[in-house]
A and B are shown apart, each in its own frame.
Chain A
Amino acid sequence: MNIDTSLLLKLCSAFGPSGHEGGISELIASELRGLADEIYTDALGNLVARRKGAGKRVMLAAHMDSVGLIVTNITEDGFLYCAPVGGVSPFYALSGYVRFESGVRGVIMCGTKTKRAELKLSDMFIDVGARDEKEAAALVNVGDACIIEHEGFIQNGRVFSNFLDDRIGCFVLIEAFKRLKETENDVYFVFTVQEELGLRGARAVSYAIAPDLALSVDVMTAPDTPDSSGHGLVIGGGVGIKVKDGSVITHREVRMKLTDIARECGIKHQLEVAPSGGTDAGAIHVSRAGVKTGGLSVPSRYTHSAGECIDLADAEAAISLLSEFAARQ
């Protein structure tokens, strides 16, 4: 296994809540500029890096955006109220450290009277250290987005970090591009925006690319922790080959191709049959007149928390499988 963990942690710590993917997009583009025949950004901010070929159009997608919060109101006392950007659990958010794109920091808390069991995001506020509305307004505008962040770390071959959803997918795409062999295929490595708000970027970009074949790479929650169902993915159990989730039933042909390659190349894998959750594949497969679409998952724990967790061996398996898939007829 030869994984550039410093790039992975750099991707995870980049600022990029849905709608604010500019910075993370620039970081990814700088990694791929020497490799791609063409790199461009569309109207919504989706980043496309293409290896031109005369063969089939193959689209590989991972989303750049993370969940976050957006300021809707500044109080007279200088506190900020906010709305969620994507699925943010109030329990995960409480007492988190937040950071705005400008670098302004704060904490997210609730009042002393708020009942913890009834905690709602709409009752929580951000304290940026402002003494009043004027001081707060000098630091933050209504409409500014922020992320809840903690420093990530790697221990025992496992990565603990915020935003592995889906910076690990972006990382897998970048590394697979680096390992991509000579191929006839016209391969589009697509880094999408606004997945967390309902697969919005993927919907637009898959129309524009009109792929013959597509694959999305994302995390999928592994219920392999205490007091969880235990029926599903296991972290460290290999890359997940998606059969279904709440947004898609993958195309049999794509699924078979993935499992065949995995067996042939000795890549550790597991089949994923998820009762819920969704990913870009959900939007891509119903684009235009339909696209044969599959999904790869890096099994992860504690999705949308500041301490998401994946196993590096699964990431390595995902990279191997993806680069091989992209090059095959």
Chain B
Amino acid sequence: MTVELIETLCRIPGVTGDEAAVAAEIECRMSTAGCETSYDKMGNLIVKKKGKMRPKTPVTLYAHMDEVGLIISKIDKDGFLRFKTVGGIDPRVLLSKTVFVGEKRVRGVIGVKAVHLQTKEAREKAPETDKMYIDIGARDEEDAKNHVRLGDFASFDDDIVYFGQRRVCAKALDDRAGCAAIIETLSGELLYDAKAVFTVGEEIGTRGARVGAAEADGGVAVIIETTTCADFDGVPENKKVTRLGEGPAISFIDNSTFYDPALVRFALSCATENDITHQVKKSGAGGNDAGAVSQGFGGHKVLSVSMPCRYLHSPSSVISLDDYDNTKRLIAALIIKLGEQGYEY
């Protein structure tokens, strides 16, 4: 199931603001698996699964459905599409990549002046996105407008590559990998009731989660995410945030959240007791839905469990399937431990 599921989810275009197709896919799978599904006004998908027993401390899992991408801001006379980025994208990763534009999934390529035509100065620095354009092969403005409208979203190419040590390279692994791990967990038989919120709008400021936080009431929220790696040669040891293949990373601090140290210890011992390979995130950088969930609606206890992901926010992000499997195991173990023992504060 894993490989097919990750592939399907990653291939769906779902740039922030355009998550409906991702939500529909998840909703379909979850209702087939016997879950109760609903939406809130933001478009967050809420999924409830009955277990054999009622948990001492209920768990609400969160993963975001949206991905970073582009939005068409102008169609010029020659039929080229100008765009803005949606979410944090390094402009350097965009050059000469292929994209899908709009509902009709029109193919395009991100162009910039060929090297031959550039001045020496221009060649030496990376161009800004406002100097780039998407070429959809249109003859002119009118031809382009037959295929694309202003405000259409463009998403990265949906090629998926499996390579090396059980590694997957694809767009949107942030955070479809998290969505997939939750879907698989809730598809199986559960000892305890569990709930999941698949959020919208994370990449532009955890907007969906601000509303979706209401669902975490009375329990512990566990955010299933991907996070930066920086585990390559030349990066000083103290700047290697996580290492690929060494298991899900549990966060103790990031820009959005200070995690309850006792709850982090609870999660770490849960992983150790169940012999699940794991690591701690060695940096305070980044942020995710945990911030909005922890501060919303009177406040909640939160955890972040993240799969290390190289080249995050690029068309070629990379995770390890071993980390994915261990993330699933950790989610299952946390549901049981919180259900059985509860977490008091």
Q: Which residues of A are in contact with B by a Cβ distance under 8 Å? A: 18-20, 41-46, 70, 72-73, 75-76, 81, 83-85, 122, 142-143, 145, 194, 197, 200-201, 203-205, 207-208
Contacts and interface: CB of A to CB of B under 8 A. Distances in A.
Interface stretch (B14-22, B45-53, B141-149, B280-288): B280-288
Interface string B291-323: 100111111110000000000000000000000
B266 interface: no
A75 B299 CA distance: 36
A43 B284 contact: no
Interface residues of B, number: 24
A43 B299 contact: yes
Interface stretch (B72-80, B126-134, B158-166, B251-259): B251-259
Contacts of A73: 237-238, 282
Given A19-B261, A75-B238, A83-B283, 10 more contacts: A43-B301, A70-B252, A70-B284, A85-B258, A142-B252, A142-B282, A204-B294, A207-B296, A207-B298, A207-B299
A19 B258 contact: yes
B86 interface: no
A81 B300 CA distance: 29
Contacts of B300: 43-44
B286 to A, nearest CB: 11
A42 B299 contact: yes
27 contacts: A20-B261, A41-B345, A42-B299, A43-B298, A43-B301, A44-B295, A44-B300, A45-B345, A70-B284, A83-B253, A84-B284, A142-B252, A142-B280, A143-B252, A194-B258, A200-B294, A201-B299, A203-B299, A204-B296, A204-B297, A205-B298, A205-B299, A207-B297, A207-B298, A207-B299, A208-B298, A208-B299
A229 to B, nearest CB: 30
Given A19-B258, A72-B238, A204 B280 contact: no
A143 B264 contact: yes
A75 B282 CA distance: 12
Sorted from nearest, which 8 A-B pairs have the closest CB atoms? A204-B299, A19-B258, A83-B284, A143-B252, A208-B298, A81-B238, A73-B238, A44-B299
Contacts of A72: 238, 282-284
Contacts of A208: 298-299
A142 B252 CA distance: 9
Interface of B: 237-239, 252-253, 258-261, 264, 280, 282-284, 291, 294-301, 345
Nearest to A283: B295
A75 B295 contact: no
A157 B289 CA distance: 47
A264 B237 CA distance: 62
Q: Which interface residue of B239, B253, B283 has the most chain A CB atoms within 10 A?
A: B253
A43 B296 CA distance: 11
A204 B237 contact: no
Contact of B260 (A19, A46, A142): A19
A42 B237 CA distance: 38
Given A73-B238, A83-B253, A200 B284 contact: no
Contacts of B252: 70, 142-143
B238 A143 contact: no
A143 B280 contact: yes
A217 B5 CA distance: 52
B298 A42 contact: yes
Contacts of A143: 252-253, 261, 264, 280
A200 B282 contact: no
A70 B280 CA distance: 13
